[in-house]
Amino acid sequence: MLACYCLNILIEAANDFQKVTAETLGLNDEEKSDKFFKQDIQKVEKLLNITKVHPCLVQTRHVGCWTITRCCNCDCYTHAVHREKGASCVLIYTKLLNIDLPRTVENTIKNIRHAMSEHLRKESLAAEEKIRQYTEEQYELLNVVRDRAFKEQESLVR
């Protein structure tokens, strides 16, 4: 697993990377002059997943045919995805942190994420149900007040 310096952007890939240059990628002048492509980059042969832990701290920009991603927290350009080829053509910055977690740890992290999202989903449903019940109660009270007001009005009019 590769990560930016603050572990905000995590890139899971099989460890088969191919060294690339601006020439082998066939970059145009705009792309060649970009800061990302001047770094030491490699092409990911088999991308598994890209996780943005805090998406609000991630910036993307378009340069030519590429969407370049940067972590705003640690100011690290992490990867670029070809806009037409998508996940089949991803470039990574080679100086990313290479975190070698045992599969059991990775599975544990995935299980924790899944449990958290499931818990949040259940809490959200419970909150929506409470809101629905409260709304019903308030409408019932409003109807009681309306009925009483109409009855009082009728008794006054007679």
Q: What are phi and psi of 95, to 5 degrees?
A: -90, 10
Residue 7 has pLDDT above 60, yes or no: yes
- Asked whether the predicted pLDDT for residue 16 surpasses 80, the reply is no
Q: What is the pLDDT of residues 53-77, one digit of tens each?
A: 999 999 999 998 889 999 999 998 9
Give SS3 for 40. coil
User: Among 71, 66, 36, 67, which residue's Cα sits nearest to residue 53?
Assistant: 71
Instruction: Say which residue, 102 or 83, is predicted with more confidence.
Output: 83
